[in-house]
Chains A and B, each alone.
Chain A
Amino acid sequence: MAQVSLNNIRKIYPNGYEAVVPTSFDIADGEFVVLVGPSGCGKSTLLRMVAGLEDISEGALSIGDRNVNHVDPADRDIAMVFQNYALYPHMTVRKNIGYGLKNRKTPASEIEDKVQTAAKMLNLTEYLDRKPSQLSGGQRQRVAMGRAVVRDPALFLFDEPLSNLDAKLRHQMRIEIKALQRRLGVTSIYVTHDQVEAMTMADRIIVLNAGRIEQIGTPAEIYHRPASTFVASFMGAPPMNLLTAKGSGGRVTVGETISVAAEVADGPVTLGIRPEDIEIGPTCDIPFTVDIVEELGAHRLLHGQLGGQELTIHVGKDVVVSAGPIRMSINPDAVVLFDAKSGLAL
């Protein structure tokens, strides 16, 4: 168990590319933090620096109360789960799980006990004598988890551990990993580019973009109060609607349609509204043209035009709509305003 603290951590690769700009954040003991962002934004780089697999170019990293900038990965008291599982192909599941303990000179009987406990926790007991090639993807994933939990480390690191699984298994493993982490109370950093994983698993989410932190916050904060248009459009499926709007005289208006009261300077702004914060009905005040209705079973998505701008509306499964003109209204409390130039929330 340990808290982790990054202080102006920076990464410049030998070819001169700055993959992570100086970045600082703290992770509390037992917290589950998810790093999320588009491909190439530096998530893995950051995680690998914490693991010690990549040199830290600048800044200070501490795990527990110890500065670990120059500590070998094996001595950082961490365990890592890799995207491709990275199981040793020639070793049985038992040996795979126990290998880290064996290298730390743990007595054989103790290794066996710990491996049994971990295997039981992960439903692997009957597979202990198999080789990784004789396991399904989900089982391999569990072995990789087993290898991490058996060492009882201070910190778990996950690099997109579920991205090789099919949707159903991913859902199941997501819940299992989260439950396991809850139970063990081990501080965890989890990298993913899947925002559903981020939302559902995290205590706190860190959104990265181009090597820079865009926002740190709880899933609800990230979702409802995005700090920038980047976060607004990255988190959520479908993403937040971003409309070109204009501020004047204490109101923000989108053409002749939406108009909300807001204390902003006169001039262009970007107005953000989540698809589910828009209502439709005959008594609503704004005309809207539906082009396409996306049927998703539990709900429907209406894609259409609002005064020449694209807009998506989320409606319940009981609301029957077909393409054509309808009327809508927005929940003014749910509106988020962004600077039109910088994209930062106002």
Chain B
Amino acid sequence: MTETTHIPVAKRPVKWGRVMDHSILILGSLFMLVPLLMVLQTTTTTDLETIKNGPEFVIGDRFDDNFMAAMFKASGFSGENTGLRMLINSLILGIGFAIGKIVIGMMAAYALVYFRLRFATLAFWLIFTTLLLPLEVRILPSYEIAQQLGLLNTYTGLIVPLIASATATFFFRQFFRSVPEELVEAARIDGAGPVKFFIDILMPLSQTMIAAMFIIMFVYGWNQYLWPTMVTTEEGMYTLVRGIKQLTQDLEGTNIPEYGRANMLALIAILPPVLVVIIFQSWFVKGLTESDK
């Protein structure tokens, strides 16, 4: 076996370019993976061991305990912000944000593309400029408004101000404009009014686009940190990304830091976006590249 494979390999000239390419790839992968593996490792040992020995190559047996602690142990005073609660809050934020964004984006784009509005172009550019004003820029007025409307510590307050941005409108507008005019006209002659056309024709055609948008928006919403930190003060409303921060605050105290639990929570926080991307991946690529229809 070694004989037969060895000989042709030895004869082939070494392609340094390829070696180079692969080295870069491998180094890059390690750069991304090692911290993740370290996180994974600490979730399997006790906090004491982590403190004493630092990161190790051994896999401990504390995965279950750490998992239970991360999911069900409350970290605040109220006892409401368990990992599970925060996971649910994060899911509500991610899904609510993605769906809200898609629905509003699609409807705005539909109006802009298919109706002869008087100031359609102006309206589009106005919407477009919101791309230049992400929430971080307008965070004080946004907070002020959310507070006056009594939206602090509500899901509405968490989600709606984040939705106000043009990305989805922009993508759907581009997509709708690529739908052939003849298709629209055929539907008109076939007696499909605006609502029917939207539901029967445009939505099914946009499937891949919707999936792509869903991934991007879900991950974006999930990863939000600043806004949730501002509008949620009740521990029962904390999202994962914000809750982890609170655990790491404990690390600065005098107790033994809960490395296992915090890292486990980080792992749990990574998982849903990863799953969404894996599940929707093939649609995602289609949605952003496919231009026919």
Contact = CB atoms under 8 A, between A and B. Distances in A.
Interface of A: 51, 53, 72-74, 78-80, 82-84, 86-90, 99-100, 103-104, 147
Contact of B201 (A73, A79, A88): A88
Most buried by A among B185, B188, B196, B205: B185
Contacts of B182: 82-84, 86
Contacts of A86: 180, 182-183, 185-186
A79 B187 CA distance: 11
B252 interface: no
Given A73-B188, A90-B205, 8 more contacts: A72-B188, A73-B189, A82-B186, A84-B180, A86-B182, A86-B186, A90-B207, A100-B191
B136 interface: no
23 contacts: A51-B185, A73-B189, A74-B188, A74-B192, A78-B189, A80-B189, A82-B182, A82-B186, A83-B182, A86-B182, A86-B183, A86-B185, A88-B183, A88-B187, A89-B205, A90-B201, A99-B192, A100-B190, A100-B191, A103-B191, A103-B196, A104-B191, A147-B190
B191 A80 contact: no
A106 B190 CA distance: 13
Interface string B162-193: 00000000000000000010110111111110
B76 interface: no
Interface of B: 180, 182-183, 185-192, 196, 200-201, 204-205, 207, 293
B191 to A, nearest CB: 4
Task: Give 7 nearest A-B pairs by CB, closest first.
Answer: A103-B191, A86-B182, A100-B190, A74-B191, A86-B186, A90-B204, A82-B182
B208 to A, nearest CB: 11
Contacts of A88: 183, 186-187, 201
Most buried by A among B183, B191, B200: B191
Given A83-B182, A84-B180, A86-B183, A100 B204 contact: no
A100 B189 contact: yes
